[in-house]
Every structure is written in structure tokens, then in C-alpha cells.
Amino acid sequence: MTPLSSVIRSALLPSADVSRLTALRRSTSLFSQGQVADSLYFLEDGLVKLTRTNNNGNRIILVICGPGHLVGEDVLSEESQSYSAEAEVLTTATLFRIPREALSHAMSTNAELSAALVSYLLQRKLALAEKVELLCLHDVEYRILHYLAELSALVKPLTDGDGYQLPITQLELADLIGATRETTSTTLNQLERRGLVKLSRRLLTIPSPVMLRSAATAKAEPSQGAAPA
């Protein structure tokens, strides 16, 4: 359990105003982009994606959150804010919904909670900065290798020990890495032939995250610092 998870569980979850949402199914929307931010969500189990859409209807998945993550940090603003992205459940999930009022009260009386939230926000800022670096300085293959390895850490290994199963479609992966579906599909097929990934409908299976990271490192070394073609 991370320090943030521990503080959240002790300082927030016992509140009578906090509700536990169980067995949420894939495609369940927690909130929409532009909706008034009224709650923070603590993810106990499952995966949730945060998607941002521009005025032309183009979208990118900002991040995929797993157990112990927070969703809807916009609510931390003292002023009334709107959610900057849409939050949608990717797998069967269990979350805690923490209303703005309960969160504000807990933060005003618990310095440890406030410090943990600030630390978490700084980590998320760093993660977004690293994503910008990936999009600008690395090609599609590297981005796929990197993110599939990262996502593998959010799910449990298969019971038969045959890798990690990621409940993400090729289109969702394309939205996550900032590439077209066609380019993503072509690259995944190449990686499958190399034994780095197994493709199936609405699922990607990763035999070995270690192999993905090694392939990503090898991919980056010859052209480190160079912009993608």
C-alpha cells in the first residue's frame, strides 16, 4: 500500500459522506469533460482511463489509472472547476466517491493528507511531462513498448503464469500513444511476430514486461535525443 493510499483510507474513507461504488462495468462514465467537478474518486480495484477531446473531436487518452490512483483531481481547486477530461471505466472496478465538501473538511484538519495529495499531484505532473517527451522524441514503436510495459504493472499476472492481459483495444492504445489506429495496428503486428505481444479481440497479452522494456531500451539507444521520423 502506497503512503497516499494509507492516508486516504484512514483520513477519508471512514467518512459517512464517502460512498463505495462496486462492480462498475466497462464503459461506465464517472464524469464527463466540462462537467462541474464535485467529487474525487479513489480507485480500489480495476482500471479507469482519462480521455481529453478537442473542439474538432480528436481525442487522446491522458492516462490509464489503476488501484491506488486518484481520479478527478480538478475538485481540489478552491474555486469551482470543471473536469478537464472524461473518466471511463476500462475493467470491472471498485471506487470510492469522495464529495468536495468531505474532501475540503478533511484537508483542513489533516496536514498529512494535504501533503500526500500535493505529492501525488506533483507525481502526476511529472508523468504528463514524461508523456510529452515520449510523444515528441520517440517513434510509435517505442511508445507502444513503453506503455504496454507500464500498463502491465497495473494488472495481475494470469493464473497460468502466461504473462499479463491488458483489457485495452488497439484503438484505445492508439489514443494513448498519440498515433493513428492503422499505424498502431501495423506496429503491433510486427511486435507480435517478434513474440513481444499477443493480439486478440479487445485484449493485448504481454508475455514478459521485462522483454518489452529491454526492447524499448534497445530501440532508444541508437537514436537517443533524435525526433521521430
Q: What is the pLDDT of residues 8-48, one digit of tens each?
A: 999 999 999 999 999 999 999 999 999 999 999 999 999 99
The pLDDT, as a whole number, for residue 27 is 95
Provide the CA 29 distance to its chain's centre, in angstroms: 15
- Quickly list H helices, the chain: 3-11, 100-109, 111-137, 140-152, 170-177, 181-193, 209-220
Q: Among positive and negative, which fits the CA dihedral 177, 182, 183, 186? A: positive
Residues in the chain: 229
Q: Residues 120, 65, 55, CA angle at the centre, nearest 5°?
A: 100
The pLDDT, as a whole number, for residue 229 is 43
The pLDDT, as a whole number, for residue 228 is 52
The pLDDT, as a whole number, for residue 223 is 52
Q: Give me the domains of the chain, ranges plus CATH numbers.
A: 3-134 (2.60.120.10), 139-223 (1.10.10.10)
Show Cβ contacts of residue 123 under 8 Å, excluding neighbours closer than 6 positions: none
Secondary structure percentages of the chain, helix, strand, coil, to 5: 45, 25, 35
Q: Which of 171, 188, 189 is nearest to 180 (CA)?
A: 171
Q: 21 with 94: CB under 8 angstroms?
A: yes
CA 147, CA 43: separation in Å to the nearest integer? 20
Beta bridge partners of 65: 48
The pLDDT, as a whole number, for residue 163 is 93
pLDDT in tens, 102-128: 999 999 999 999 999 999 999 999 999
The pLDDT, as a whole number, for residue 221 is 78
Stretches in the chain below the pLDDT threshold 70: 1-2, 222-229
Helices (H) and strands (E) in the chain, counts: 7, 11
CA 120, CA 115: separation in Å to the nearest integer? 9
Block residue for cell numbers 480538478: 74
Whole-structure pTM value: 0.91
Block residue for cell numbers 517505442: 142
Radius of gyration of the chain (CA): 19
